Amino acid sequence: MPKTLSERVADLESAALKSEGAQFAVHDLLARLLVRLPEPEVRKMIGELIEHADELDGQLGADRRSLQLANGNGGNQSGLGAAPSLVS
């Protein structure tokens, strides 16, 4: 017997939650790895990732620049602002 619409929606919701959980796990793993690197290396890597994202979607760069201007750090190309130290 085919699934009802509500069952299919429930399956999609479950899959979305599992996907979101996996994304959080990846973020946690990356954070643990990055904290072991020297701060200048991490900042360089973040800057390169920002540039790459901007190349993939030009609107990301425009959105980020407008946010930087709104936050008063328009001269900061990395978008990092005065971030707290990543290395203890």
Distance CA 71, CA 78 (A): 13
Give the largest CA-CA distance in the chain. 61
The string over 31-46, giving b where at least 16 C-beta atoms fall within 10 Å of a residue's C-beta and e elsewhere, is eeeeeeeeeeebeeeb
Residue numbers in the chain where pLDDT is lower than 70: 73-88
What is the predicted pLDDT for the residue at 73?
A: 62
- Domain ranges for the chain, please list them: 1-36, 39-76
pTM over 0.75: no
Burial class (CB in 10 A: 0-12, 13-18, 19+), 88: exposed
What is the predicted pLDDT for the residue at 68?
A: 72
What is the predicted pLDDT for the residue at 49?
A: 86
What is the predicted pLDDT for the residue at 54?
A: 81
Of 58, 80, 86, 56, nearest in space to 68 by CA:
80
What is the predicted pLDDT for the residue at 79?
A: 46
Return the percentage of the chain with pLDDT > 70, whole number: 81
